[in-house]
Amino acid sequence: MTPDGSLLVAEELRKSYGPTPALDGVSFSVHPGEVVAVMGPSGSGKSTLLHCLAGIVRPDAGSITYRGRALTGLPDAELSTLRRTDFGFVFQFGQLVPELTCLENVALPLRLGGARRRDAERAALEWLERLEVAELRAKRPGEVSGGQGQRVAVARSLVTSPRVIFADEPTGALDSYSGERVMEMLTEAAGSTGAAVVLVTHEARVAAYSDREIVIRDGKSRDAEYAG
């Protein structure tokens, strides 16, 4: 942890794609168990921020610290291990592996970490049950609805007991009711494990599930109450 108890801290992040700055001095922090919504219009840099925080994209400048450890200079192999063990991910379209069953999809992070199949699938089934989609365990992603698929994706994000869950527009492809259910289950499940959630969204009804909101506009960040 950092001296102020933050789990994940970014300071003055900058990232450009060609001549276009996506992040222009963004600072960010999240505490254990906290849900932080990153809001902003399309193209504002919020997804780039999430990808930098998760070690998927390297910033051009600035620093990222996780549990007191600098991430920006870590080798790709160490970042990959960290994403597999400490970070969970939920994306807009789930990104489930279509050839695998829902049970196998949820078990996949554990299997990649070296867990035996039986143990991994037992843990996966427990999370499918908690997310109320255990009946889908033998189905493949193409055989379930969007809302059901996102619940499976949430189960996959939690199966490794991560410290941080990164959710990038997790309800963007869902109708209002399905989106509400996914957000309820995501925040409740994360809360039960003590995981922090970094939630990227442009929807106020989704951001309402957060403890705090950060607004990204033109590559810069500010607390929501001062966004004007």
Report the DSSP beta bridge partners of residue 17. 20
CA 92 to chain centre: 10
pTM score: 0.90
**pLDDT score recorded for residue 224:** 66
How far apart CA 198 and CA 214 sit, in angstroms, is 10
Pairing of strands 87-90, 61-66: unpaired
Tell me whether residue 24 is in a domain. Answer: yes
Number of structural domains, the chain? Answer: 1
> Is the separation of the CB atoms in 26 and 221 below 8 Å?
yes
Report the DSSP beta bridge partners of residue 155. none
Question: What is the helix, strand, coil percentage profile of the chain, to 5?
Answer: 40, 25, 35
Tell me whether residue 2 is in a domain. Answer: no
CATH of the domain at 14: 3.40.50.300
pLDDT tens column, 27-45: 999 999 999 999 988 888 9
Tell me whether residue 3 is in a domain. Answer: no
pLDDT tens column, 61-119: 999 999 999 998 899 999 999 998 999 999 877 689 999 999 999 999 999 999 999 99
Pairing of strands 220-223, 212-217: antiparallel
| Nearest residue to 53 via CA among 34, 77, 75, 27 | 27
Which range marks the domain in which residue 180 is found?
8-222
How far apart CA 159 and CA 73 sit, in angstroms, is 28
